[in-house]
Amino acid sequence: MGYKTDWFNGIFPALVTPFTAEGVDEDAYRALIRFVLPHVDGVVPCGTTGEFSYMTQEERKRAIEICLDEVDGQVPVLAGTGCTTTRDTVALTAWAREAGVDGALVVAPYFLKPSFNEVYDHFQAVDGVGLPIVMYNIPQCAGTHFKWWTAEGGLLDFDNTIGIKDSSGDLPFMEALFEKVKGDVSIFVGHDEVVQAALAAGADGAILASANLIPDLWQNVYRATQEGDLKTAQEWQQKVQKLVRIVVRCGANQACKEGLRLMGVDVGDSRHPIVPGGAFRREDREELRLQLEALGKIEKSSVTYLVGDKEVATDLFATHHTPDPVTDWTMKVGEGFAGPPFQELAHVDLLIGLKDGPVGRAIERSLTEWGEDRGLRTIAGRPETLLVPTVTIRTAEQRKLFERAAAGVKLAIELSIEDGFLPEPILDDIALIVNAFVHPAASIAKRVEFNNYKAARHAIRKAIEGRPVVEELKAEKAAARHPFRYAP
C-alpha cells in the first residue's frame, strides 16, 4: 500500500452543499464548515448528501476549494470525485490531487450498472491518479453492490486505495470486509442507522449525513466504542436513532438542510428535482424538530404572549418561524397529519382562540345544538377543548377508536403545556376546537392514539406560530401542486 491510513478514522460529516441561483453559496458553506469543525475528524465535500450528482464539474471544484480554504489543514478533506464515467472521474480526481485534498471518495460508477470486472477496471484507472482513494459502496443509489471479492481484489491490488465507505447497511457484507481487509485499509460505515453496530464490529469510523446535525453526538458513540464502553455507545445510538431514521429514510439532503435551518444554520434548500415538502414531508420536519429539541440542539428561549390584557412570558423551543410576541388570539388555525399505516393515519384541523371570542362561542353553541349524540365532546377543561369527529361515528368499535384518538389529543395538549407552547397563565383564557379524523377501517388502537397525538401536537405549534408562513408556501408550491400528493 502506498499510503498510511492513520488520518482516516473517526467521524466525517458528508457536508450538504448550500446553493444560490448562480452556484455554491460560499458564505453559507463556510458557516456550515465552522459549525461542524470542532466536532469532527474530517469532512467530505461533494458526497451524496452534498448533491454532487446535481452539480456541474466547476461547482464541485469550487465547493472543494472553499472547503480546503475554510478547513485550512485542521482536519483531513476527503473530496467526492466520483462521476458516471471513468474519464470524468479520473479528471476530477487528478484536479483534486493538485488542489490539495487529503483523499478522494469515489463512488462506484452508477446508473448503467457495470459488472464487477468493469467496476474493478474503473477503480484501477482512478487509483492510477496517485491520490489516496476511498471506494464508496452505496448500492441504493449507484445500482451496483460491491461483493467482497471485488472489494478484496481492488483494495489489496491497488497502490493508492486506503479504504472503503459502505453505505449499504448490509452488515454481513461489512463483516466480510472485516474478514478480508481489516487492518490493511480503513473501513467506514456510511449508513447512519447501524453506526454503533458497525463500529463495535470493527469499523474505523463513519461518514454520515446526520453528522451535519449532530457531529458531537456521533463522537460520543465513536469514543465510547473505542474505549470499550459499549453500553454508553448503545445508549447514544438509541437516543439519536429516530432522528437518523428520519434523515436516512425521508430525503436526507433536504432533511439535513431543514434541520440545520431549525438550529440557526441556514444552508438553503436542495436543488430540483428535490423540493421542500416532497421526499422530506412537512410532517417529517415537525418530527425532526421534536428530535432536535430532545437532543438539546434547539434550546428554549423566552417568547411573549399577548392574550387579551395579559402579557405572559413563556420559555419554549423557538425557531426562526416563531413570532415574538405572539398576538391576535381571535382565531388561530393549525393543521397536522401523521401516518402510516393508511387506515390509522391521523389528520387534525385545530382552532385556538379566546374563550370569550368566536372559538369559545362556537364550542358553547355546538354542544347546545348538537351535543354528544353526534360525537362531540369536551376532553379538557384547561384549556377548554372540544373534540369533533371528522367522520360520523356509527359503530361501537369506531367509538372506542375515537376514544383512543381523544387520548392522543389530550396528551398533545398536556405536552404543549409542559413545553411552553400553551403556557399555564393563559389556559383559562383560551379554548380549542379539534377536528380529528379516524379512518372507518382503522383497527390498531395504539397507532390511532399515537398518530393523533403527533398530528395534534404539530397542529398546536403551527397555530401558535402562524404556520405555514408565506415563505414556506412559496417554497412548497411545487410539492403542493403534485396530483399524487396527499394534501389534507
Strand pairing category for 310-316 and 301-307: antiparallel
pLDDT above 70 as % of the chain: 95
pLDDT at 208: 98
**Helices H / strands E in the chain, number of each:** 17, 14
Distance, CA of 189 to chain centre: 18
At a CB cut-off of 8 Å and minimum separation 6, what does 194 contact? 169, 171
pLDDT at 242 over 90: yes
Question: 2 falls in which pLDDT band (50, 70, 90)?
Answer: very low
pLDDT at 372: 66
Which region among 85-94, 314-323, 479-488 has the lowest average model confidence (pLDDT)? 479-488
pLDDT at 471: 81
Active site residue 182: no
pLDDT at 74 over 80: yes
Distance, CA of 75 to chain centre: 25
Compare 470 and 285 and report the one with higher pLDDT: 285
pLDDT at 150: 67
Question: 148 falls in which pLDDT band (50, 70, 90)?
Answer: low
* Catalytic residue selected from 120, 136, 222, 305: 136
* Catalytic residue selected from 29, 61, 120, 165: 165
Question: 408 falls in which pLDDT band (50, 70, 90)?
Answer: very high
Mean pLDDT confidence for 169-179: 91
**CATH 3.20.20.70 segments of the chain:** 10-294
Q: Residue 52: is it exposed, middle or buried by C-beta count within 10 angstroms (0-12/13-18/19+)?
A: buried
Strand pairing category for 161-166 and 133-137: parallel
Q: What is the pLDDT of residues 207-226, one digit of tens each?
A: 999 999 999 999 999 999 99
Count CB atoms within 10 A of the CB of residue 7. 17
Q: Rg of the Cα trace of the chain?
A: 26
Mean pLDDT confidence for 99-125: 92
The C-alpha atoms of residue 262 and residue 320 are separated, in whole angstroms, by 7
Q: What is the pLDDT of residues 434-461, one digit of tens each?
A: 999 998 889 999 999 999 999 999 999 9
pLDDT at 475: 77
| Alpha helix ranges (H) inside 250-281 | 252-262
Question: Residues 40, 11: contact at Cβ < 8 Å?
Answer: yes
pLDDT at 487: 44
Mean pLDDT confidence for 177-201: 94
Which region among 140-149, 217-226, 399-408 has the lowest average model confidence (pLDDT)? 140-149
**CATH 3.30.230.60 segments of the chain:** 328-485
- E-assigned strand segments in 14-142: 78-80, 103-107, 133-137
Sheet containing 332-338, strands listed edge to edge, beginning at the edge strand earlier in sequence = 332-338, 346-354, 430-437, 384-389, 377-381
> Is the peptide bond prior to 358 cis by the omega test (within 30 degrees of 0)?
no
pLDDT at 417: 97
Instruction: Give me the CATH code for the 10-294 domain, please.
Output: 3.20.20.70
Strand pairing category for 346-354 and 430-437: antiparallel
Residue holding cell 379554548? 431
Mean pLDDT confidence for 369-395: 86
Element (H, E) at 7: none
| Alpha helix ranges (H) inside 419-483 | 445-465, 470-475, 477-480
pLDDT at 482: 47
pLDDT at 486 over 50: no
At a CB cut-off of 8 Å and minimum separation 6, what does 473 contact? 480
> Is the peptide bond prior to 273 cis by the omega test (within 30 degrees of 0)?
yes
State whether the Cα torsion 353-354-359-363 is positive or negative: positive
Question: Residues 398, 390: contact at Cβ < 8 Å?
Answer: no
Helix/strand/coil for 397: helix
Active site residue 120: no
Kindly report the average pLDDT of the chain as a whole number: 92
Helix/strand/coil for 389: strand
Mean pLDDT confidence for 313-325: 95
pLDDT at 277: 86
Grid coordinates belonging to 388: 369533533
pLDDT at 373 over 90: no
Helix/strand/coil for 120: helix
Count CB atoms within 10 A of the CB of residue 167. 25
- CATH architecture for the domain at 328-485: 2-Layer Sandwich (3.30)
Q: Tell me the range of 21-25, 169-173, 176-180, 247-251 where mean pLDDT is highest.
A: 21-25
